[in-house]
Each structure stands twice: as structure tokens, then as C-alpha cells.
């Protein structure tokens, strides 16, 4: 029998779990932002997470997981690598938090989703 452990197990809704843009993010805000971002993601099988900020990376990963999408992590962000990802995972899009990765992703033919969200307005509890 397997047990499911929520991503934020052991955290209270108002406990700070990370910082984004110099502001604290509570567990409830993180959950709300992940749910909001998940609802806006395309219905692809794979999400290529190119986020460079650690907290945004976690948020993007949580959103993709909530959508049931597999997350692909390329070894680098070079055009030739992303072009190979496009061939290997044709039903995919890129999650980005920077202008350079967004531009490179578009150059390789990917749909791009910005991973940043309005954390302050998001709230949801308990964790999914």
C-alpha cells in the first residue's frame, strides 16, 4: 500500500515556505498560485521546465504535476538541446521565467508559458 504525502506536509497554511521577488510566500499562497497556474497550462503531456529562479521552478513544477504532466529537465538551455527536446517530446511546451529562455524556446518552435504568477492574490488550503 502506498501513501500520498502532500508537497507541503507539516506546514501550516500561514507558514512561509519560500520567497519570490523578495517577498515571503506562505504555504496557502503557494498552493493557490500552483492551482491558478495549473488551470492556465496547455493540455500537453510534457512540460519543459526552464525556470531559473528556484521558487518559480518549484511553483511551475507543482502546477504541471497538478495537471498530470511529466516534467522534462534538459541538461542546458542551448538551441540545439531544445531543438532535440522538441523532436523527442513533440507534445510539450516550455515553462519560462526569463526573457532569454522564452526567446530561445520560441525560436525552437515551442509554445511558451510564463511561470510567474501573482502570489499575493492566491490562497488555497489544504495542499493538493
The pLDDT tens digits of the residues spanning 28-76 come to 888 888 888 898 899 999 999 999 988 889 989 999 999 999 999 999 9
Tell me how far apart the alpha carbons of residues 83 and 85 are, in angstroms, rounded to a whole number.
5
Model pLDDT, residue 5? 43
Residue 100 has pLDDT above 60, yes or no: yes
CA distance 27 to 66: 16
Residue-wise DSSP of 29-96: HHHHHHHHHHHHS---SEEEE---SHHHHHHHHHHHHHTTPEEE--S---HHHHHHHHHH-SSEEEEE
> Which structural domains are found in the chain, ordered by start?
16-121 (3.40.50.980)
Which range, of 8-12, 57-61, 102-106, averages the lowest pLDDT? 8-12
- Backbone φ and ψ for 109, nearest 5 degrees, come out as 90, 10
Amino acid at each position: 500500500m502506498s501513501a500520498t504525502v502532500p508537497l507541503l506536509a507539516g506546514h501550516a497554511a500561514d507558514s512561509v515556505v519560500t520567497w519570490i521577488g523578495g517577498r515571503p510566500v506562505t504555504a496557502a499562497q503557494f498552493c493557490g498560485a500552483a492551482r491558478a497556474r495549473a488551470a492556465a497550462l496547455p493540455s500537453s503531456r510534457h512540460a519543459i521546465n526552464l525556470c531559473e529562479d528556484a521558487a518559480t521552478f518549484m511553483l511551475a513544477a507543482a502546477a504541471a504535476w497538478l495537471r498530470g504532466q511529466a516534467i522534462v529537465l534538459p541538461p542546458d538551455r542551448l538551441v540545439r538541446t531544445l531543438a532535440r527536446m522538441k523532436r523527442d517530446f513533440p507534445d510539450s511546451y516550455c515553462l519560462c521565467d526569463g526573457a532569454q529562455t522564452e526567446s530561445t524556446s520560441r525560436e525552437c518552435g515551442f509554445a511558451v508559458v510564463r511561470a510567474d504568477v501573482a502570489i499575493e492574490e492566491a490562497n488555497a488550503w489544504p495542499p493538493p
